[in-house]
């Protein structure tokens, strides 16, 4: 059972992701048939999966959502934003259930009641968008009256301008005039005309319905500014929905069409069985939709040609369309990428083993050197083999790294919904766009991005994007734009969040920095704007005057920087007042290999991540002077604190003897520091392993790795040492 | 003014009628209970004005110079002549021929 549940959880999560993405797309364009089909399939598969693991509550909930989607698919009622919201909530519930199941490995408690609630909500009549006839009524009327025009028509539409549309400067007649190519147009009052002396001439009470030769997409484009007020139905499919009302549901038609296709290849071996099976299926379908008289006509039919003709007749004589209908949406199986699902743990094990292999290779390198030094006759051969092994392992390492990459989509796709919700909650319309979501990076990096991006996007919504009236006053578009972009730049992955909001208010930043004691007024005076903007990353800094539940607890940017630096990345911000801000994350493609520089203190070697090292200098002992309890020295007119590594690590503090000090200049979060060491070693690529067991949480240590000679090299966390 | 009450029997629209004309037209129609609407000199009218004409169910003259009025109101007028008032209240305006609305 547990095995089924694991598989079910895995698959369901993927389906939820797909469905969420497509639902959000449907909110933009509720008529996109492919997205609608995809969402429907996802819910359908979720329902099937739930049934397999005997999770009847979830199956019921999915079925309820499926019903709503089926109605939308048949076009008799479009998918309203409220309905999209309800379907999304339904998916949220599924995720909650999956989370519970992942932990408990059993079906969650209390699911039945939740499913009841979902069923009730889904079954409730949706709010009708406008008083007036139901959507399919107008379509039916229009097509009936203009039967001749229907042949030429590309689409039909119903344009019901809002009552207050004149006040927004809309002129529906002029807008209709821009479209052209009408076959028929009708205008009627939305509600019966009152007497003239009671008529409000500035409240629009008109509804236009029309047939045009133009395609649905062209009509949608022409009405883009009033899209919400217009309902567009492609006439080919409208005709189908129309016919469906005469008895055949869309799915029944689909099944009957499939039988026609089956019969078309019926001269192949096994033809008789196929004909019988097609007849039986068609009969069952017709019984199912309540057309037993049609079913009776097919019963026992064995001639494929006659059967085909009968089926085509029932479908309303549409043989020509079958071929076209068969093609448009390839079965999901054909589209499925050729991939193998592998447990992450197994991949991680492979990564670990590769790391061990690199260490073993380094050990052989060490042995080779020993052999060379001792003049062994095998030295040359050993060196040769070592080089080959080295090349192979580099290749292996690259391949293993590719195994663990994920597209940024993995994290990007979680945000459109969040932005949508915040946008609604705050009443600030936002156009959210993601780009480059197929850019790949190591799983660890991609997963580490979520929290920081969340903070940054919340900030963009809360502090960046102005309320609509302010934007209008500034002459900006009322709808703000927030973009989330990912790209690969050399060995780095760059992720940017850009908004066109008010930008960072530097005056306020400086004020708050003093108020919160992040920096002194004197120090601030010498800060350039670029330096001042960095202050927002300081711990305990927040410019939000009112703390909201969106952001503004003053932990956001500080936490974001910490998280990004923990995986070896950098975060920076550019901002222009009233033009917006760009927050840029620069991350390594992979976290597996770290370049370190080895340093020695006494007889102990340590590794220091090379990305933190700016340069190494030798300084005369007398240039290092004490300040308070610590030391500092002046490097190119900048005072840099000096930390004696030996002293910090409690080795020995007998440095005064040497005339010069060997210093590593380190840059962390824009701050400089110097670490004094005894000797500098070499640079090497190591596989950094986080400390676990008894050593985990040891301050100042980032991890450890094995050296060629079998010694353990401790890698220092310079950030903790310096700050 | 693009809306003028010529006399007790005629209210004329002239040139391009802006949205504000809707109220002026309505007042004229209320005060001249049997006046017809003359569109002979009207090139185009805002939807709000068109709406008042439709709601009034008055007889319409002219409009031949404008394809828009020709299509929208000619038919309206022909219905007014042939249908009893009560039926007209429910009647929809319709057009059977393909046509183009004026360029804007």
**Digit-coded pLDDT (tens) for A217-271:** 888 888 887 877 888 887 765 454 444 445 677 777 778 878 887 777 655 566 7
What percent of chain A has pLDDT above 90? 5
Q: What pLDDT shows up at residue A656? A: 60
Q: What pLDDT shows up at residue A535? A: 83
Average pLDDT value for residue range A156-180: 82
Average pLDDT value for residue range B27-34: 87
Q: Confirm if A241 and A75 have CB atoms less than 8 A apart.
A: yes
Give B72→chain A minimum CA distance, Å.
9
Q: Which residues of A touch B46 (CB under 8 A)?
A: 166, 171, 173-174
Q: What pLDDT shows up at residue A388? A: 92
- Region of A452 (left: φ > 0; alpha: ψ -120 to 50; beta: rest) is alpha
Q: What pLDDT shows up at residue A126? A: 55
**Closest residue, chain A, to B90 (C-alpha):** A192
Q: What pLDDT shows up at residue A226? A: 81
Q: Among A146, A184, A205, whose Cβ lies nearest the Cβ of B51?
A: A205
Q: Among B22, B72, B104, whose Cβ lies nearest the Cβ of A174?
A: B104
Q: Confirm if A235 and A156 have CB atoms less than 8 A apart.
A: yes
**A430-434 CB contacts, 8 Å cutoff, 24+ apart:** A430/A461, A430/A465, A430/A479, A430/A480, A430/A481, A430/A482, A431/A479, A431/A480, A431/A481, A431/A482, A432/A481, A432/A482, A432/A483, A432/A484, A433/A481, A433/A482, A433/A483, A433/A484, A434/A483, A434/A484, A434/A485, A434/A486
- DSSP class per residue in A581-626: EEEEEEEES-SSEEEEEEEEETTEEEEEEGGGEEEEEEEEGGG-EE
Kindly tell me the burial class for residue B90, based on how many C-beta atoms sit within 10 Å of its own C-beta (0-12, 13-18, 19 or more): exposed
Average pLDDT value for residue range A524-536: 82
Strand order in the sheet with A182-189: A230-234, A155-159, A206-212, A182-189, B93-94
Q: Confirm if A718 and A648 have CB atoms less than 8 A apart.
A: no
Contact between chains at A199 and B52 (C-beta distance less than 8 A) = yes
Contact between chains at A206 and B19 (C-beta distance less than 8 A) = no
**Integer-rounded Cα radius of gyration of chain A:** 34
The residue that leads in pLDDT, A641 or A309, is: A641
Helix (H, G, I), strand (E, B) or coil at A226: helix
Q: Which residues of chain A approach chain B closer than 8 Å at the C-beta?
A: 145-146, 149, 161, 166, 171-174, 176-189, 192-194, 196-197, 199, 201-202, 204-206
pLDDT at A325 over 50: no
Q: What pLDDT shows up at residue A553? A: 45
pLDDT at A473 over 50: yes
The residue that leads in pLDDT, B85 or A120, is: A120
Q: Which residues of A touch B30 (CB under 8 A)?
A: 196-197
Euclidean distance between CA atoms A350 and A491, whole angstroms: 22
Furthest-apart CA pair in chain B: how many Å?
37
Q: What pLDDT shows up at residue A566? A: 74
CA B80 from chain centre, in angstroms, equals: 12
pLDDT at A592 over 80: no
Average pLDDT value for residue range A28-54: 85
Euclidean distance between CA atoms A655 and A72, whole angstroms: 79
ipTM of the complex: 0.72
Of the candidates A449, A428, A436, the one whose C-alpha atom is nearest the C-alpha of residue A550 is A428
**Closest residue, chain B, to A173 (C-alpha):** B47
Contact between chains at A187 and B72 (C-beta distance less than 8 A) = yes
Least-confidence region, from A6-20, A280-294, A375-389: A280-294
What percent of chain A has pLDDT above 70? 86
Query: Mutate which of B33, B47, B99 to test chain A, going by most A C-beta atoms within 10 A?
Result: B47
B86 interfacial to chain A (CB closer than 8 Å): no
Q: Among A177, A188, A206, whose Cβ lies nearest the Cβ of B103?
A: A177
Q: What pLDDT shows up at residue A280? A: 82
**B86-93 CB contacts, 8 Å cutoff, 24+ apart:** B88/B57, B89/A192, B89/A193, B89/B57, B90/A192, B92/A186, B92/A187, B92/A188, B93/A186, B93/A187, B93/A188, B93/B54
Kindly tell me the burial class for residue A425, based on how many C-beta atoms sit within 10 Å of its own C-beta (0-12, 13-18, 19 or more): exposed
The residue that leads in pLDDT, A190 or A289, is: A190
Average pLDDT value for residue range A3-30: 84
Contact between chains at B92 and A166 (C-beta distance less than 8 A) = no
Contact between chains at B56 and A171 (C-beta distance less than 8 A) = no
Q: What pLDDT shows up at residue A484? A: 94
Q: What pLDDT shows up at residue A347? A: 84
CA A625 from chain centre, in angstroms, equals: 52
Helix axes A379-403, A344-373, angle to 10 degrees: 160
Helix (H, G, I), strand (E, B) or coil at B2: coil
Q: Which residues of B touch A211 (CB under 8 A)?
A: none
pLDDT at A550 over 70: no
Contact between chains at A171 and B30 (C-beta distance less than 8 A) = no
Average pLDDT value for residue range A182-210: 83
Phi, psi torsion values for A253, nearest 5 degrees: -60, -40
What percent of chain B has pLDDT above 90? 0
Q: Which residues of B touch A197 (CB under 8 A)?
A: 30
The residue that leads in pLDDT, A509 or B77, is: A509
Mean pLDDT of chain B: 68
B58 interfacial to chain A (CB closer than 8 Å): no
| Bridge-based pairing state of the strands A671-677 and A679-687 | unpaired
For A380, other C-beta atoms within 10 Å of its C-beta total: 12
Strand order in the sheet with A712-716: A679-687, A593-601, A604-609, A712-716, A701-706
Q: What pLDDT shows up at residue B84? A: 40
Q: What pLDDT shows up at residue B79? A: 40
Least-confidence region, from A40-54, A254-268, A394-408: A254-268
DSSP letter assigned to residue A225: G
Q: What pLDDT shows up at residue B77? A: 42
Q: Which residues of B touch A180 (CB under 8 A)?
A: 100-101
Contact between chains at A173 and B101 (C-beta distance less than 8 A) = yes
Euclidean distance between CA atoms A121 and A83, whole angstroms: 10
Furthest-apart CA pair in chain A: how many Å?
115
Q: CA of A186: how far to CAs of A141, A156, A669, in Å?
A: 11, 11, 67
Q: Which residues of B touch A196 (CB under 8 A)?
A: 26, 29-30, 52, 55-56
Give the number of A-B residue pairs with CB atoms closer than 8 Å.
Answer: 94
pLDDT bucket at A499, cuts 50 / 70 / 90: very high
Q: Confirm if B3 and B10 have CB atoms less than 8 A apart.
A: no
DSSP letter assigned to residue A550: S
Highest mean pLDDT among A178-187, A251-260, A712-721, B20-29: B20-29
**Closest residue, chain A, to B44 (C-alpha):** A174
Helix (H, G, I), strand (E, B) or coil at A484: strand
B93 interfacial to chain A (CB closer than 8 Å): yes
Mean pLDDT of chain A: 79
Contact between chains at A186 and B94 (C-beta distance less than 8 A) = yes
Contact between chains at B19 and A177 (C-beta distance less than 8 A) = no
Euclidean distance between CA atoms A68 and A78, whole angstroms: 10
Query: Mutate which of B39, B101, B103 to test chain A, going by most A C-beta atoms within 10 A?
Result: B101
Could you tell me the pTM of the whole model? 0.45
Number of DSSP helices (H) and strands (E) in chain A, helices first? 29, 22
Helix-, strand-, coil-residue percentages of chain B, each rounded to 5: 40, 25, 30
Q: Confirm if A614 and A608 have CB atoms less than 8 A apart.
A: no
Least-confidence region, from A437-451, A520-534, A657-671, B68-82: B68-82
Q: What pLDDT shows up at residue A687? A: 66
Give A154→chain B minimum CA distance, Å.
14
Contact between chains at B104 and A187 (C-beta distance less than 8 A) = no
């Amino acid at each position: 059972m547990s095995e089924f549940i694991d598989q079910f959880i895995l698959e369901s999560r993927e389906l939820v992701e797909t469905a969420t993405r497509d639902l959000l797309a449907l909110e933009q364009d509720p008529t996109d048939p492919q997205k609608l089909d995809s969402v429907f399939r996802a819910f359908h598969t979720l329902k099937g999966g739930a049934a397999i693991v005997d999770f009847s509550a979830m199956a019921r909930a999915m079925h309820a959502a499926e019903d709503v989607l089926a109605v939308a698919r048949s076009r008799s009622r479009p998918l309203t934003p409220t309905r999209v919201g309800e379907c999304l909530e339904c998916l949220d519930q599924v995720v909650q259930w999956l989370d519970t199941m992942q932990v408990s490995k059993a079906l969650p408690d209390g699911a039945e009641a939740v499913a009841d609630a979902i069923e009730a909500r889904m079954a409730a009549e949706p709010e009708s968008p406008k008083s007036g006839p139901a959507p399919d009524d107008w379509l039916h009327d229009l097509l009936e009256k203009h039967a001749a025009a229907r042949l030429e028509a590309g689409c039909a539409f119903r344009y019901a301008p809002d009552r207050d549309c004149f006040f927004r400067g809309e002129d529906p007649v002029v807008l209709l005039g821009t479209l052209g190519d009408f076959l028929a147009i009708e205008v009627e009052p939305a509600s019966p005309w009152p007497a003239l002396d009671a008529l409000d001439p500035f409240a629009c009470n008109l509804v236009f319905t029309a047939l045009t030769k133009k395609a649905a997409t062209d009509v949608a484009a022409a009405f883009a500014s009033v899209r919400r007020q217009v309902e567009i139905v492609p006439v080919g499919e409208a005709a189908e929905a129309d016919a469906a009302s005469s008895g055949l549901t869309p799915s029944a038609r689909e099944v009957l069409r499939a039988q026609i296709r089956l019969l078309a290849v019926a001269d192949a071996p096994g033809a008789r069985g196929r004909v019988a099976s097609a007849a039986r299926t068609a009969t069952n379908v017709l019984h199912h939709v309540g057309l037993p008289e049609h079913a009776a006509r097919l019963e026992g039919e064995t001639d494929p040609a006659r059967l085909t003709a009968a089926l085509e007749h029932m479908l309303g004589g549409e043989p020509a369309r079958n071929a076209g209908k068969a093609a448009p949406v390839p079965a999901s199986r054909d589209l499925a990428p050729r991939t193998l699902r592998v447990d992450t743990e197994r991949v991680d094990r492979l990564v670990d083993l590769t790391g061990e292999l690199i260490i073993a290779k380094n050990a052989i390198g060490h042995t080779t050197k020993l052999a060379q030094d001792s003049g062994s006759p095998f030295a040359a051969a050993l060196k040769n083999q070592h080089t080959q092994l080295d090349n192979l392992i580099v290749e292996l390492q690259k391949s293993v790294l590719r195994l663990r990459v994920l597209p940024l989509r993995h994290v990007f796709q979680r945000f459109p919904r969040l932005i949508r919700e915040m946008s609604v909650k705050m009443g600030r319309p936002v156009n959210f766009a993601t780009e480059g979501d197929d850019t790949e990076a190591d799983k660890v990096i991609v997963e580490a991005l979520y929290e920081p991006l969340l903070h940054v996007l919340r900030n963009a919504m809360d502090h960046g994007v102005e309320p609509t009236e302010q934007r209008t006053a500034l002459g900006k578009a009322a709808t703000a734009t927030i973009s989330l972009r990912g790209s690969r730049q050399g060995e780095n992955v760059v992720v940017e969040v850009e908004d066109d909001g008010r930008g960072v208010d530097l005056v306020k930043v400086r004020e708050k920095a003093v108020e919160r004691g992040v920096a002194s007024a004197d120090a601030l005076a010498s800060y350039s704007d670029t330096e001042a903007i960095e202050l927002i990353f300081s711990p305990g800094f927040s410019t939000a005057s009112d703390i909201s539940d969106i952001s503004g607890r003053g932990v956001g940017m500080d936490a974001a920087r910490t998280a990004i630096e923990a995986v070896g990345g950098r975060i920076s911000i550019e901002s222009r007042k009233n033009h917006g801000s760009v927050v840029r994350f620069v991350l390594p493609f992979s976290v597996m290999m770290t370049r370190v520089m080895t340093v020695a203190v006494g007889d102990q070697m340590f590794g220091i991540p090379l990305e933190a090292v700016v340069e190494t200098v030798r300084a005369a002992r007398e240039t290092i002077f004490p300040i308070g309890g610590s030391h500092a020295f002046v490097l190119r007119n900048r005072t840099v604190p000096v930390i004696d590594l030996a002293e910090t690590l409690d080795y020995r503090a007998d440095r005064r003897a040497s005339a010069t000090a060997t210093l590593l200049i380190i840059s962390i979060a824009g701050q400089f520091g110097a670490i004094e060491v005894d000797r500098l070693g070499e640079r090497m690529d190591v596989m950094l392993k986080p400390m676990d067991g008894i050593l985990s949480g040891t301050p100042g240590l980032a991890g450890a790795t094995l050296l060629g000679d079998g010694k353990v090299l401790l890698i220092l966390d310079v950030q903790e040492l310096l700050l | 003014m693009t809306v003028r009450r010529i006399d007790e029997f005629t209210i004329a629209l002239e040139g391009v009628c802006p949205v504000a004309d809707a109220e002026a037209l309505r007042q004229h129609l209320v005060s001249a209970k049997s006046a017809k609407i003359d569109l002979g000199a009207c090139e185009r009218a805002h939807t709000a004005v068109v709406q008042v004409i439709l709601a009034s169910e008055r007889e319409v003259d002219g409009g031949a110079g404008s394809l828009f009025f020709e299509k929208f109101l000619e038919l309206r007028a022909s219905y007014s002549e042939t249908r009893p008032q009560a039926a007209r209240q429910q009647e929809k305006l319709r057009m059977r021929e393909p046509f183009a609305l004026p360029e804007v």
